[in-house]
Structure 1
Amino acid sequence: MRATELVVDGVTLTAGARRLVQDVSLTARPGEVIGLVGPNGSGKSSLLRAVYRVLRPAAGRVRVDGADAWSLPVRRLARTVAAVVQEPGAGVDLTVREVVAMGRTPHKRLLDGDTAEDTALIEEALTAVDATDLADRSFDRLSGGERQRVLIARALAQQPSLLVLDEPTNHLDIRHQLDVLGTLRQLPATALVALHDLNLAASHCDRLYVLRDGRVTASGPPAEVLTPRLLAEVYGVTAEVAVHPGTGAPQVTFLPGRPRPGAPSGRARPAADAPREEECHTLL
């Protein structure tokens, strides 16, 4: 598995007369974990669909290692990009191991059986999401969180150079949320991930893009993006933002009530609350 570069260049997406995304550009450099955040309906899922080639741009381009994603042969794209979507889906009469094995399909010819390498990668993917005990169970009979972990395992077994994940922590308990995002950080691949939990995004993403009404409102490292003012303007909430003493990442605390026009929208903790630079290196 290797990392690839993703460039979204001035992409506009429409559905009939409705504009879903307007002139959005972003870059994910090889090996980065890039977070998409924003309120419901801001365009996150639509933008991801353009990247994994379900929703064709009305304008702009999606480039994977410099090549137009929409011009690549389907098989080549499937070897490069793996997607995990929000809806785990039921009605699949397969075992968990068979579902995860589907991730190996882009690397095989029609009617090819599993090789020893395939089997090893499938087991490795199951282990990565703590699903080895589910391997022989019916996918259709799993809980929502269990299905989500299995679909992430299928994407890992695909060995893509670019992972596109739409709310991958949905339905997961806290332990598995941390495990899944921790796995993304360790992979030799690039990841573009939509998240609602801003604290998870802050602690696991290299950079964030904030979407609002289909446009990029802000982008940059989490510490620069997640400010009380931005949270008030984009989410309509009052919040404090501090530096977590253990990770050095921003930590958002939401406060009761909505921000009043012209009133302070929250506050950033004083710099004295943050660990010194040398402490951050040690804690990380």
Structure 2
Amino acid sequence: MTGAELVIDGVTLTAGAHRLVEDVSLTARPGEVVGLVGPNGSGKSSLLRAVYRVLRPAAGRVGVDGTDAWSLPVRQLARTVAAVVQESGAESDLSVREVVAMGRTPHKRLLDGDTLEDAELIRSALAAVDATALAHRPFDRLSGGERRRVLIARALAQQPSLLVLDEPTNHLDIRHQLEVLSTVRRLPATVLVALHDLNLAAYYCDRLYVLCDGEVTASGPPADILTPLLLAEVYGVECEVAIHPRTGAPQVTFLPGEPSPAAPAVS
């Protein structure tokens, strides 16, 4: 597994007459973890859908290693890009191990069984998300957090060059949030991840893109981007930002009440 280069160039996404994303450009270099942050409805999930080829751009281009992602054959795309989305309901009749084994499908021919390598990759993926004990349980009997971990394991078993994650820490307790993101951080794959938790984004991401109303408001390293002024403008709340003495990452503390006049919220 090696990291791919992702280049989103001037992408606009629409739903009927409504513009979801407007002229967004983004680059994720091989092996980087790049985060998308912003309020609900800012266009994060829509942009991810354009990358894993569910929502076709009305304008612009999504390039993976120099090739238009929308021109790749389906099998080649599946070998290159893996996605963990917020909602998934196609695995209800399968065991956990069978769900994770689906990640190996792009690497097989029709009717091929599991090889020893496949079995080891499935085992390793389950272990990476602390789901080994769940292997033989029905997927549809799991809690929301357990399902999330299993779907991440399936993506790990796929061994993609580009991993796309839409709120991967949803439904996870604090321990599993940290474990999952630490696992993702260690991958050689390039990662594009949408996160609500700014402190997790600050610690685990190399660079952040801040989306608001479907446009990129700011981009850069977390320490440059996560400022009280910008967060007040984008989120409409007052906050304090300090560098954590142990992690060295920015730590955001949101404060109750309205933003100060020096940092007005966007109307």
TM-score interval, smaller chain: over 0.9
Distance 1:137 1:98 in 2: 10
Aligned CA-pair RMSD: 1.0
Distance 2:164 2:262 in 1: 38
Say yes or no: does 1:23 pair with 2:18: no
CA offsets 1:10-40 (integer angstroms, 9 cap, x no match): 0000000000000000000000000000000
SS in 2 for 1:83: strand
TM-score (norm 2): 0.97
Tell me how many residue pairs correspond in the alignment. 264
Larger mean CA deviation between 87-96 and 135-144 belongs to 87-96
Aligned ranges for residues 1-284 of structure 1 at < 5 Å? 1-89=1-89, 92-260=92-260, 262-263=261-262
Identity percentage of aligned residues: 83
Higher Cα Rg: structure 1 or 2? 1
SS in 2 for 1:70: helix
Distance 2:141 2:227 in 1: 42
Distance 2:62 2:195 in 1: 21
Deviation at 1:175, TM superposition (A): 0.4
Deviation at 1:92, TM superposition (A): 1.0
Distance 1:152 1:256 in 2: 34
Deviation at 1:253, TM superposition (A): 0.5
Unaligned runs of 5+ in 1: 266-284
Unaligned runs of 5+ in 2: none
Give the 3 Å change call, closer, same or farther, for CA 80–90 of structure 1 in structure 2: closer
Q: Which amino acid aligns with 2:2?
A: R
Distance 2:141 2:73 in 1: 35
Q: Which amino acid aligns with 1:204?
A: Y
Deviation at 1:264, TM superposition (A): 5.1
SS in 1 for 2:172: coil
Q: Report the counterpart of residue 277 of structure 1 in structure 2.
A: none
Q: Report the counterpart of residue 268 of structure 1 in structure 2.
A: none
Is residue 163–residue 192 contact of structure 2 (8 Å, CA) maintained in 1?
yes
Q: Which amino acid aligns with 1:176?
A: H
Q: Which amino acid aligns with 1:149?
A: R
Q: Which amino acid aligns with 2:54?
A: V
Is residue 81–residue 164 contact of structure 1 (8 Å, CA) maintained in 2?
yes
Deviation at 1:263, TM superposition (A): 3.5
Distance 1:68 1:91 in 2: 30
Distance 2:192 2:33 in 1: 6
